[in-house]
A and B are shown apart, each in its own frame.
Chain A
């Protein structure tokens, strides 16, 4: 392949496994010069892994990569890929705080005074400003990064990549934290990049964005290439069909929503939180599993945090067990609310402490006397109870939680609440990062709790999981309830369409 071939990048037969199941199997992926190419697939389809391989963050097990006519070695690395002209605009932004826009753009390649190792600050600022003006961005070279909103920081990242003479820019969910105006601005920039002959790989769960922008779309599913769609073949409905793919059998894909008649445990009315949530109202009943679907950034986690009392909200009203309720974490725990957070390692467990300790902390009231002294025996009883209820392995209460597998860690987090007199349990992404066997056990636990009369709220991006567990599904989009599936049959596709904002064939 010569340097003037129409293809900028060609990957063939890429295999990757992380000491376990295949994450990518025989995947082909190619990019034309100056195209906007979307990469889509469900969570776990292998998009991030493919990107990591292209950018040299991780190495492939098999397959070949040719970039700009040059073969890329297996032992590739991040810095080498940058030198080739591959840039990633990171989701968690990789800018240096405390430095100016110009300093960030020119980091490690600052212009120097001729023959001296001294940075020519004036020249650096001038060059940066010239770049900014050329693309018509609303920025000043001397602005300090910390003071810029997220969208503008992203612009700085793009400028940084441009200054590196990148010919390929990869954007992973770039709009997840942007407002719609900001997103529109970004799309303008992306089209500008295209007109400059730069190839953009665009990864997003938002089908309308993919539809609007893309010249071609590559669809991945379960680590395999499904197909590559040409411009005229692209439609949101088609992409969703391909992503979910597998001609789902009737029982797999269709789930009957069940109406439960239990008492209302929690009622939320007109909850608003500036910039995050807008007029949210719903009820959850005893014995019911209420599912929350929606894309990452649709406000699901924010909603859960608000009703549990971690973050405040601006207006709206909560009724818990028939009484007006202003949530706070302490009151929620005392009132029989359980919360299994999204980021287990950060928010749910204390890895350096034993199972006994982790369970004890959430149940101090139950294991201590009025003077505040903790009873070792009671603490152990509670831990043993949780371990046997949830079949935690190993069934040794003194094991450090950090040493347990992901699934067992999750059981401990759930176990913290299980041994209380639980009335409402909120689980945010209950099975992220745990294996299939443990997933099934987690589902059974949730179902058993519901049978015992606990109201359960499940937040999940995993569509089969959401449809399987829920008696009712509420879909959020941009901080609002966009759809509720309360009765009848629902499929994964229905949920994804709603979450992507597609109403009957077109975009909303």
Chain B
């Protein structure tokens, strides 16, 4: 018994040590989100893990780029140098990660990006439809305000593409369909809740008449909700978030947050992992252009949130 175990360990060692020789039977997949500390990136990870659960010959490793593009580039290099077979990447910046993605692909390592596409073609991009979902949020806000009112936006940091796309979609819809809705403020709340509270407080002080707030992610929406609640104006302001994380969905059920653009992040992560496996096993062939796979958004409000099943909440 002990002998078999030892043999198995030795084999495993040999397998890892000889890397290339056994590439056909054993795969390493790297997962590199912008940061590991967010509900979204954790949900992706769970999605990826679930998709790879029954594949015994696949190992998955994740690294934390700590929201710095320079660090993410270093970590890409590390995945490449360690001979990973595929990389699932959420680029912190489209331009900054392009070179790394190109380098990986040139060494035959397919890269599947999440949410943010890069400038040069690679295997695939599994993305939430940021612009479309932003548009959808604006339509909902416009309808509920009756086409008139003051709106503020909690932005993402400068250069963060996903946030910018969401905001662009939102603004485009308002300009086209609800020209009487005025955007009274837009400030960077750095994706996070604390900053969301701080920025929302200043919006509340400056604007006595504020009818709606769009935060380009749920964390900032939750921050905005806390600020509005302590100012006693929660009932008067429609708050919309983006992503649809579990905690936000619960707040929507309680009626504290108006709605969010929900995407099934588990599914999204799973799709990316499945795509990677298909490429590795040869079930799919890599095309010349990036294959864009859009995960459709869903407007979760108090009326519709019940449609999202418990196991799909992240």
Q: Do chains A and B touch in the complex (CB under 8 A)?
A: no
Give chain A's interface residues, CB within 8 Å of chain B: none
